[in-house]
Chain A
Amino acid sequence: MSVIRDDFSIAFRSALLQRGGAQKFSVLSLIFLALVIFFLDVYGIKFTKPVRGLINDVVYRVTYLASTPTRFFPQVNEDLSSFFNVKAENERLKAEIEKYKSLELNVEFLTDENKNLQKILETEYFNKNLSNIVLAKVLVDKNSPFLKSIIINKGTRAGILKGMPVTKDNYLVGRVVETNYLSSRVLLLNDLNSRIPVTLDEGAQAILSGSGLNKPILEYLPEDYEILEEINVFASGKDGIFSPGTPIGKTNGAGEVMLFVDPNQLSFVTVNLSVQTKGNL
């Protein structure tokens, strides 16, 4: 019995403390170091924030460079297929031009109507001040099973603050949760930690919660509310963060929201600098 115990303790100690050969550090010392770094980072002692920001900026840039080959091959494939489909593409574009010409007549009327309605709602017109919109490139879009986020190439230098809403083609895609000097992390709407107050077409209020999957879900709807398909979902702006009326997606019958922007296909996004965060998000 004592032999077995000795055997166990020798193997255990050896696994923790063994060094030599290629192992310059013992597992125990590195576990201790990792714990120190973890608690310094979590409790945010004053000097750790700029250090973490600097590390983030450097690593994000290296990640962007290291991911270049993975972006290159799909792009080449896309370019080749578009080259062979030029004629069909031309026909499609001509048809689209005709369609947009007919729609153009309605646009002016709808724009005026929209402005008037927003005045009634006492909300800020989203495109009033384009200088407050920052265009950013997606540096890293690493898919994690536990965190749905992207990293953009604009940070505090461009005036981005934690909590600012991020859109693509005026559709809401998420909000800034981490800022560095040259980069920021954007939490996407489908992340498990994302909660956004929304309004449905008919005026019902709800909370859009990320599910960790591609389609976020609607929670806290009015009692006996029956969710129909194809209902538009907008940011309600009740949190003072997101512009009221920013379109998000459409419902399906299961209470999920099909986002207008595919969170897996983001390459450029815009950050609205005019909307300030309220407190720590």
Chain B
Amino acid sequence: MAKSSFISKIYNSGPLLLLYYLCISEVDSNLEKMFEIFTLNFQIILIYFWVLKRPEIMANGHVFIAGLINDVVMGFPLGISSLSYLIIIFVGTYVRNKSVNTTIASDWFTFFMAMVFSNILFFSLLNNFSELSFTLNKIGYNMFFTLFMFPIFWLLFNIYQMTFIGNRDA
């Protein structure tokens, strides 16, 4: 019993550990080295899915710290990724509170809204308060591919949830 509880704890920690690992390691979650225009914000897909499905797995404090680590590694001003991730959590929690049954299509649409709010805040803060500059092309590609890849990761995470954690939909 104790062993199975321990294993279940490890499975439950999987998404959070993946988030920390993506933020702290130099793993290229953007795949930009392979395809020049292909950039993907995998972290926000990960956060949004788990906030929507199992919020107790994606604790706010941990997401906040992961964001700070991401800022240090990426060279952004401290706190900006945390803000962006927290907006994703906020929209995800709101959608979770308002909806009874979710489908991949509804999740996809609400993810788009969450990503737009989060990116507007992220890039407007960076443009106004830092010396970093961006092109709209890059931001557009990033948003497009992140949105485009969402259903694929939704399915993968869903399989993980069903296999290792157990289904308990909103």
Interfacial residues, chain A to chain B (CB-CB below 8 A) = 7, 10-12, 14-16, 18, 21-27, 30-31, 33-42, 52, 55-56, 59-60, 62-63, 66-67, 70, 140-147, 149, 177-178, 185, 192-193, 212-214, 264
Interface residues on B, range: 35 or more
Query: What separation, in Å, do the CA atoms of A26 and B77 have in the docked complex?
Result: 23
A-B contact pairs, 10 of them (CB 8 A): A23-B55, A24-B60, A35-B83, A41-B79, A42-B77, A52-B78, A70-B25, A145-B32, A147-B75, A192-B132
Q: Which residues on B are within 8 Å of A, measured CB to CB?
A: 21, 24-28, 30, 32-33, 36, 39, 55-57, 59-61, 64, 67-69, 72-80, 82-83, 86-87, 89-91, 93-94, 97-98, 125, 129-135, 138, 141-142
Quick one: which of B24, B133, B142 contacts A193, CB cutoff 8 A? Answer: B133
Q: Which of A59, A177, A212 contacts B73 (CB 8 A)?
A: A59
B72 touches A145 (CB 8 A): no
> Chain B residues with Cβ under 8 A from A192's Cβ?
132-135, 138
- Other A-B contacts than A15-B94, A142-B28, A192-B132, 9 sampled, CB-CB below 8 A, are A7-B98, A10-B97, A21-B56, A22-B56, A22-B59, A27-B86, A37-B68, A59-B24, A142-B26
Quick one: which of B33, B75, B77, B94 contacts A143, CB cutoff 8 A?
A: B33
CB contacts (< 8 Å) of B74 on chain A: these are: 142, 144, 146-147
Q: Please indicate which of the listed interface residues A21, A55, A66 has the most CB atoms of chain B within 10 Å of its own CB.
A: A66
**A264-B33 contact given A27-B93, A42-B129, CB 8 Å threshold:** yes
Find out whether the CB atom of A38 lies under 8 angstroms from the CB atom of B129: yes
The answer to whether A66 touches B25, judged by C-beta atoms less than 8 angstroms apart, is: yes
